Amino acid sequence: MSEGSSNVRQAGRGDGKRGARQQPAASQFAVASDDGASRSPYLNRELSQIAFNERVLAQARDASVPVLERLRYLCISCTNLDEFFEVRVATIHHQLQFGGATGPDGLGPATALKLIHERANQLVQAQYAQWHALLPELAAAGVRILEPAAWDSAQKRWLRKLFRNEILPVLSPLGLDPAHPFPRILNKSLNVVVACEGKDAFGRNSHMAIVRAPRSLRRVIQLPPELSGGAHDFVLLSKVLTAFVDEIFPGMQVKGAWQFRVTRNSELSVDEDEMENLAHALKGELASRGFLRAMRLEIGADCPAAIVKMLLKNFELEDNAVYRVDGPVNLNRAVQVHALVDRPELKFPPFRPHSLDIEADELFDEIRRHDILLHHPWDSFAPVIDLLKEAARDPDVLAIKQTLYRTGRDSVLVEHLIEASRNGKDVTVVIELRARFDEEANIRLADRLQEAGVQVVYGVVGYKTHAKMLLIVRRERNKLRRYVHLSTGNYHAGTARAYTDIGLLTADADFGEDVHLLFQQLSGLAPAVKLKRLLQSPFTLHKALLKKIAREARHARAGKPARIVAKMNALTEIGVMAALYDAAQAGVHIDLIVRGACALRPGVPGLSETIRVRSVVGRFLEHSRVYWFGNDDEPELWCASADWMDRNLLRRVETCFPILDRELAARVYAQTLEIYLQDNTQAWELQADGSYLRVRPQPGERAICAQSDLLARLCS
């Protein structure tokens, strides 16, 4: 650890000597494009988000990745794109409808939408090209996803029987005529549009019908082993529906059947100023979420233009919102194959996170002696679970307070909170009901906790509570001591094995007092408070970041060591970006590790030539937020729940906490920043034009993969 501390100081010292040139402020610059015209110093956020999904898709193309994991990456890129349309494209549509202004990137809503659809369609075509590339590789490994043409007679008989006995009874086909208008189509549901000829039982001529696939039906069907010849054989529900569609319309001649899917706006709209009960209001909104405005239409590539036109009219979509696909419209559902196939050699090798050599009943003593740092997924999440479990049963524990944003199903943490309440502890839980796509689960969680006597708080009207905090109050020798857990990630045992995050366990009195005051703010009507250790959104974090960036700029102008290294999920807040440009012009060397959307243009002469931005996409989802400031060879390292985005810094309740122990700070720097800046296998460098280039080892250079190196070093 002492060597890591030396590395932290050396980084600040060496890079500070690169120069302290003074440049005009960023606001005075117009970035020149190749044709000599000026362009905005900021990139488009939405196009940058699509670029992230392109990097995810690149993992599906990487031959060094096990084939079932490549399928999983492909499906993740599809799921990500769904959410992109449900949220970001929906936001741009809203701006277009209500006269939104031109963004900092210089694009108005109409232009932005045009570019988004063009780029997203390119991504979709690349996804389906990769789907067809993966199918033979999967088949060669003994995992087959069979098209109807490949079904043998026994498989076809089995599937027809399955269709008649389990699928057909739950279908409700709807013929389209004046008495049967176009039905409501649920967001992201699987549907089939069918063209028929002939007369039905009432003598009516039929031409068009819609078949909706209920969500109770399996989207991926595994054939029994006796029909697979030793392979793992699967058939997609969409293929079964279209293959046996004639049985849905007996006596009619089916001329064609084409699957389709619509993606809708999923942003809930709740007027918090006009409501009395947030949970009740959200329940009402959730009921209609699946039928909000359509954003895009996915349909089979061979569907006739007339049918596509009819669907577009019903969904009130423009032509550029059509995504013709050569494969299943719900491609993301193929991820179920990954879970259904028990073939370890086709997946990432398992690993066992490092566990603290501390018994649960010794955790309080150990935390009291020194801070404990947890770096997930390489460190086990068990100490957090064990601490809460011990607190629930310890007679000396008087109170427990915790924030919950996403917890996952059947969370053991929730069970410990309930047990604590039943054991007479004062338990308060701040649940963020508006955690996107987890609203319904969080409402159920809140109801369950309240039934167990837990005091449930829904946070602050107008501000999502995104902070990750746990506070335990314990009586020790007739005094009260506070134990705190702060984290960059959610209290979710599942994601703790799949996401990279930093957690800190401490009994520091100032940390305890700060977290106590924050819980008072969230559960009561306390005013803004002055915290001793923590920074907080929406009050102090944004201002503090600007000051720390400006401090580095002053050091650089004075010829002192000046450097910034930061890691986050997204960078789009214009105030922070302008401050970074200012610092770059002063000569500060800035390294940013931004997983997803980044609106900052790096490497622009006279504006950002000392800024480097990279993204790392690998086995684990990069989720930790870590900010390091050289501070004239007295470095500061902070971890946070907040990205450098407008919503996180100005419209949410977030926490940012310093790592004060020098050895722990050195460890965080080495494991979350330094090695990621050295990564030359899974890193992508952002170019000034918004494109990303994959970093590759140079001749004679050792290949470095940050995630794999940490796995080999820290896990068994």
| pLDDT tens by residue, 612-641 | 999 999 999 999 999 999 999 999 999 999
Instruction: Give all domains of the chain, ordered by start, each with its CATH number.
Output: 2-40+544-647+658-714 (3.30.870.10), 148-346 (3.30.1840.10), 360-533 (3.30.870.10)
Q: What is the DSSP string of 322-387?
A: EEEESS-TTGGGGGHHHHH---GGGSPPP---B--S--GGGHHHHHHHS-EEEEETTB-SHHHHHH
Q: Residues 645-703: pLDDT tens digits?
A: 999 999 999 999 999 999 999 999 999 999 999 999 999 999 999 999 999 999 999 99
Q: Over the stretch 120-134, which tens digit does the pLDDT of each residue have?
A: 999 999 999 999 999
> Residues 246, 259, 237, CA angle at the centre, nearest 5°?
75
Tens-digit pLDDT profile for residues 286-316: 555 567 899 999 999 999 999 999 999 999 9
CB-based contact 639:625 (threshold 8 Å): yes
CA distance 117 to 292: 19
- Among 386, 325, 357, CA closest to 129: 325
Q: What is the predicted pLDDT for the residue at 28?
A: 45
Q: What is the percentage of the chain residues whose pLDDT exceeds 90? A: 76
pLDDT at 201: 55
Give 288 or 185, the one with higher predicted confidence. 185
Q: Which two tokens stand for residue 334?
A: 């193929």
Does 375 participate in catalysis according to the annotation? no
Out of 466, 492, 589, 623, which one is annotated catalytic?
A: 466
Q: What is the dihedral of CA 416, 422, 424, 427, to 10 degrees?
A: 50
111-121, pLDDT tens digit by residue? 999 999 999 99
Q: What per-residue confidence (pLDDT) applies to 637?
A: 98
Contact between residue 414 and residue 445 where contact means Cβ atoms under 8 Å apart: yes
Region 379-388 average pLDDT: 96
- In 3D, which of 530, 519, 529, 407 has the Cα closest to residue 465? 519
pLDDT of residue 178: 52
- Please check the confidence at residue 276 and state whether its pLDDT lies above 70: no
Average pLDDT rounded to a whole number, residues 482-496: 94
On the CB side of 156, CA atoms within 13 Å amount to 9
Q: In the prediction, which pLDDT does 519 show?
A: 94
Note the pTM of the prediction, 2 decimals.
0.90
In the predicted structure, residue 35 carries a pLDDT above the cut 50: no
Angle at 589 between CA 467 and CA 499, to 5 degrees: 35
pLDDT value for 269: 55
Structure confidence at residue 21 (pLDDT): 30
Tokens of 583: 């610092």
pLDDT confidence band for 7 (50 / 70 / 90): very low
Q: Check: CB of residue 571 under 8 Å from CB of residue 12.
A: no
* 199 or 173, higher pLDDT: 173
Q: Scanning the structure block, which residue is given the tokens 């069918």?
A: 194
Tens of pLDDT, residue by residue over 45-81, are 999 999 999 999 999 999 999 999 999 999 999 999 9
Tell me the average pLDDT of the chain.
89
Question: What is the Cα gyration radius of the chain?
Answer: 28
Distance CA 440, CA 286 (A): 7
**Cα–Cα distance between 678 and 676 in angstroms, integer?**
5
d(CA 442, CA 459): 13
Predicted confidence at residue 459, as pLDDT, reads 76
Pick from 71-85, 177-191, 197-211, 331-345: least confident: 197-211
pLDDT the model gives residue 458: 85
